[in-house]
Amino acid sequence: MSDTKQPVIIYGAEWCPPCHVTKDYLTKHGIEYDYRNIEENEQYMQEAAEKSGANAIPVIDINGTIIVGFDRPKIDAALGL
């Protein structure tokens, strides 16, 4: 894994199983992230929709690379794992 700190943002909701899978996966790999609950802050919901062009979660922003849903190959590629 690269030593470069990647700014990672996860937009999600507590009721979303793929959101929990994403957080657990990043934690397992020692990747810090900023979790933004779209149900607690409407601005986060708008940011997620603007970044992804979709109405689905999780929306994962890895240093500007946007991934919708838990897509391990895309996450690994964006993180350089």
How far is 43 from 18, CA to CA, in rounded Å?
21
Residue 7 has pLDDT above 80, yes or no: yes
Helices within 2-71 (DSSP H only): 17-28, 42-52
- Lowest pLDDT segment from 3-7, 18-22, 64-68: 3-7
The model carries a pTM of 0.89
Span 41-51, pLDDT tens digits = 999 999 999 99
Record the tokens describing residue 28, joined without a space.
Answer: 């397992």
Burial status of residue 58 (CB atoms within 10 A of its CB: 0-12, 13-18, 19 or more): buried
Query: Could you tell me which CATH number the domain at 8-79 has?
Result: 3.40.30.10
Which has more pLDDT, 28 or 7? 28
pLDDT for res 1: 41
Span 28-44, pLDDT tens digits = 999 999 999 999 999 99
